[in-house]
């Protein structure tokens, strides 16, 4: 508002412009904070190195350090990018083109079977700082409910209808008081692997069926280093392998329905 050519300020005008300035700064701050994950962007121009990182405006915020109750080795460190065993789809490649696996996508961690490079240490309980996901044989005081079927000692049937192995134990999450994994001893090799509990079905008699993968694919599932603990990295690889099977286990699964 002007009076005789001179700007006239009052409390309402000052409050309005102060709100505009505050709101603009807030939006910029939120936009910058949203770049803590996924930035700087990795160029998809294969084989070409960028002169400057792709950050956009505003740039990436400074690193934030969290004080953890149980510090994880490698927490906050930059981890190198994995070389993807995949190629761009089509002969006329353009930035943003989809990729297709070159080999076994479930083993190589491509697409739905991708995993995060998490720390290779067990997840710990908050109170007593011990591994929180362990087998029942190492967890006194935990067991299956009397009214629930017990799969231990029962066969594990895979997608192709073949018996891939025997369930030998259950792994319990002591912090959440629920079962996370089935421990399966594979037929033929005797090797033991973990199968995510939520990707298995158990009937009334305790028989287990896993439709994520075939029996051959289950035999190639990732294992664990320690017989009574599982690390964060191993958990991600196990979940990615069996979850990715819902897309890669058979050629028909990756094709359109119509």
CATH architecture of the region 114-254:
Alpha-Beta Complex (3.90)
- For position 226, what pLDDT does the model report? 92
Cβ-based burial of 8 (10 A; exposed 0-12, middle 13-18, buried ≥19): exposed
Tell me what pLDDT residue 43 has. Answer: 67
Q: pTM score, two decimals? A: 0.78
Q: Cite the residue boundaries of each domain of the chain with CATH code 3.90.50.10.
A: 114-254
pLDDT score of 11:
86
* The pLDDT value given to residue 254: 81
Q: Where in the chain is the domain with CATH 4.10.540.10?
A: 1-64
Fold of domain 1-64: Photosynthetic Reaction Center; Chain H, domain 1 (4.10.540)
Q: Which of 122, 101, 86, 111 is nearest to 240 (CA)?
A: 111
Q: In sequence order, which residues have a C-beta less than 8 Å from that of residue 215 and are 6 or more positions away? A: 158, 159, 160, 162, 163, 164, 187
Q: Residue 106 CB: number of other CB atoms within 10 A?
A: 26
Is the backbone of residue 74 left (phi > 0), alpha (psi -120 to 50) or beta?
left
* Residue 3 pLDDT: 57
| Residue-level pLDDT, tens digit, the chain, 258 residues | 555 655 677 888 899 999 999 999 999 999 999 988 878 776 666 555 656 677 888 888 888 887 777 666 666 666 666 777 888 777 666 666 778 888 888 988 888 899 888 888 899 888 888 999 999 999 998 899 888 899 999 999 999 999 999 999 999 999 888 999 999 999 988 899 999 999 999 988 888 999 999 999 999 999 999 999 999 999 999 999 999 999 998 988 887 766
pLDDT at 22: 97
């Amino acid at each position: 508002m002007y009076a005789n050519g001179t700007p006239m300020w009052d409390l309402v005008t000052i409050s309005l412009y102060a709100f505009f300035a505050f709101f603009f700064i807030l939006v910029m701050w939120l936009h910058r904070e949203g770049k803590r994950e996924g930035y700087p962007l990795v160029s998809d121009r294969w084989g070409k190195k960028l002169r400057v990182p792709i950050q956009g405006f505003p740039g990436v915020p400074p690193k934030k350090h969290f004080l953890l109750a149980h510090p994880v080795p490698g927490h906050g460190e930059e981890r190198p990018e994995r070389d993807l065993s995949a190629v761009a789809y089509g002969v006329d490649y353009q930035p943003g083109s989809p990729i297709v696996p070159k080999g076994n996508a479930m083993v190589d961690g491509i697409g739905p079977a991708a995993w995060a490079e998490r720390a290779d240490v067990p997840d710990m309980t908050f109170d007593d700082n011990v591994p929180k996901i362990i087998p029942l044989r190492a967890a006194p005081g935990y067991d299956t409910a009397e009214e629930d079927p017990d799969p231990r000692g029962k066969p594990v049937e895979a997608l192709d209808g073949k018996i891939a192995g025997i369930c030998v134990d259950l792994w319990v999450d002591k912090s959440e008081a629920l079962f996370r994994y089935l421990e399966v001893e594979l037929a033929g090799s005797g090797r033991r692997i973990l199968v995510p509990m939520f990707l298995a079905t158990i009937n009334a008699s305790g028989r287990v069926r896993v439709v994520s993968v075939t029996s051959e694919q289950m035999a190639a599932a990732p294992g664990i280093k320690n017989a009574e603990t599982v690390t964060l990295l191993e958990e991600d690889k196990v979940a990615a392998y069996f979850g990715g099977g819902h897309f890669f286990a058979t050629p028909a699964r990756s094709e359109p329905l119509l």
